Amino acid sequence: MQQSNTSAAQRILVVEDEPDIAALIAYQLTREGFRVETVESGTDALSSIYRSIPNLIILDRMLPGLSGDEVITRLRGDSETSSIPVLMLTAKREQEDRIEGFELGADDYLTKPFSPRELVLRVKAVLRRVQDAGAASGGRVLRAGPLRMD
């Protein structure tokens, strides 16, 4: 296991309704030093997010009840959650599906089946871009649950 500064104490929320896939993702990310929480529905995702803002969300588009599309739409429409990076991980693999995912506000998009290693690398890349953007703007935002300090 090689832990980088990118993963040190970063919290990832995995929103995936297939338990085997959620467990695989959690295992891979935990091995890389991330703290991982998994939930199976869009409603549970929103509850978790508003309880404690994650550093990144891995979001399935097709969830029971509240879909991943609805979740990301709500996140992007709320100033408290609009800047959370979202990586969509889904079976919706057509070009139009990917375009729609990005239009909804996804920062990255990966289709199933997927390589666990590629997923980890994409997570690290998105987090690195977010970190670099924060450093470039000169601002650092600290978050602890619902509290945010610029």
Higher pLDDT, 38 or 146: 38
Q: Judge whether 120 lies within some domain.
A: yes
Alpha helices in the chain, H assignment, sequence order: 19-31, 42-51, 68-76, 95-104, 116-136
Whichever domain contains 78, its CATH number is 3.40.50.2300
Q: Quick check: 6 and 131 in contact, CB under 8 A?
A: yes
pLDDT at 59: 98
The pLDDT, as a whole number, for residue 145 is 59
Q: Is residue 133 in a domain?
A: yes
pLDDT at 148 over 70: no
Mean pLDDT on 97-109: 95
Whether residue 3 lies inside any domain: the answer is no
Whether residue 1 is predicted with pLDDT greater than 50 in this model: the reply is no
pLDDT at 130: 87
Quote the longest CA-to-CA distance of the chain: 41
Q: How far is CA 25 from the centre of its chain?
A: 12
What is the domain count for the chain? 1
Within a domain: residue 122? yes
What is the tens place of the pLDDT at every residue in 33-78? 999 999 999 999 999 999 999 999 999 999 999 999 999 999 999 9
Residue 6 has pLDDT above 70, yes or no: no
Q: Which residues contact 137 (CB under 8 A, 6 or more apart)?
A: none
Average pLDDT of the chain, as a whole number: 88
Q: Is residue 5 part of a domain?
A: no
Whether 97 is covered by a domain: the verdict is yes
Q: What is the extent of the structural domain holding 31? A: 11-149
Establish if 2 belongs to a structural domain: no
